[in-house]
Structure 1
Amino acid sequence: MLRKIATVFILFISANLLAQEQMSVFFESNKFQLTKKEENKLNQWILANNNNKIVAIHGFTDEDGTSGFNDTLAQKRVDFIFQIVKDQIKIREDFKTLSFGEKFTQSENKAENRKVTIYYILEKDIPRENEILGIKPEVAVEELPKPEIEYPEKLIFENPNGTKSEFKLDREFMKKVGNAKTGDKLKIENLNFIINTFAVVNESRGKLYELLLVLQSNPQLKIEIQGHLCCMPVDRTDLSTQRAKAIFNFLINNEVYRARLSYKGFGSTQPIYPIPEKNEAERAANRRVEILIVEN
């Protein structure tokens, strides 16, 4: 017959058991309740050790019966002992139960195998409890503050015809995106498109570079670009998606890793103001691109 171990209460490596005090009580065949003699023995031990501390209780059976039956019997024996000692002697709060059933080195004397063994430490050793059990204290890892990134105030590009293009950058917006938390959503202010197209007007191209610089400076940052429209309840040409994709393509073409980006168009299904809007200010608010922080 295969020997099995079913465990009921253990918190430490087996090798450490040798460092503990221990006592055992024994059971009759197929029983999980103690005889009067063994119950008296347990009560006397409790009286003599009520200032000590239990760190584990293990239950065992002989090899008679099936492995499944023995596993259950060992568990019942541990539970029975635990109910007696739990309010009379200290027990570790994170104390776990293990039952070994018949899975252990069996004695030739079957009566010696039908037992529960209590492992405990003496009162004088309680201050060294974790050391004795081989438990190392958790070391708190201090999370260092995210270093402040200095973004440029403007970008200047030389055009093929020899002229220069200058884009003033919104440093506060870039810092806000870079420091945003996962799940945050931020509107890209002043990002405008040529009417009824997904082409960004020249005056707004600096907004694309702001986003590019933030992504380059924060390699862990992942975003979803979300497009929204105003005015019409149905986005028949899927213009909101095309606008979000245009920004996506700009970033991809400037070597931002594709897996960090996604895009989505919502048409006018998520307006800030009800449609039809009352004025141009409301239309402008609904006609927007937002950045969802997927990971930061």
Structure 2
Amino acid sequence: MKRNYFTLLILLCVNLVSAQEKLELYFDFSQDTPNEKSTEKLINWLESIDSIEVSKIEGYCDFVDTDEYNKELSLRRANTVLSYLKATNINVERAEIIGFGENFNQSEVQSENRKAIVYYQQIKKVVAVDPPKESKLSKQITDSKVGEKLKLENLNFYNHSDIIRRESRPIINDLLNVMKANEKLKIEIHGHICCMIEDTHQIALLRAKMVYNFLIQNGINKNRLGFKSFGSAKPIYPLPEKTEEERDANRRVEIMVVSK
């Protein structure tokens, strides 16, 4: 009987909700999309969170223009943030959207009044864990030959950055597990970009180095690793790309099997 209770407990999914937290984003004058600094903050936040539920999004404005206009603008700001969260599969089903306009206790610094605040809770889940299966990447490594290049499928980045998209985090963890399981495996990490003929900001190098550093930080000996940038010299789709899917495909990381 005790064993049956234990099995049932493992199979149950239990949600443990933590205390409410908040994210503040700021906007330029009369704009309904976050400014450059807050956009970067939003991207970093999306990469740092795991499982959350958004309870409320509030929009605010400075006192310039009419009360009616500011009310409408504050709602647009809140709904813009809502659309970003929906696009990244954040749980916003029960989120309350409020536009305060200029009717709140305003700061004397007007730029601090042009904002949106996201209220959210972390959700921890205890779920049944299936026995591990051999991943696609693991099989590719097993079947590969020395010198062969393998694309890390779906390891995608935000444009003009070395920040991995939220949905791509399992891919880099899979690479780490493959490296740990194959102690003789040595690889060279290749970074690629989209859109630009010249990689003036060395984004491709930063992407390759990001994967390199991630592996080292998680216990992989640096003697088993190397990294290299190809910029936009070897695109999957010709430049300029026609769709966001093509841009996602071109800003990628590949690995070359050095020895195994």
- Structure of higher RCO (CA pairs closer than 8 Å, 6+ residues apart): 2
**Greater Rg by CA:** 1
TM-score relative to the length of structure 2: 0.48
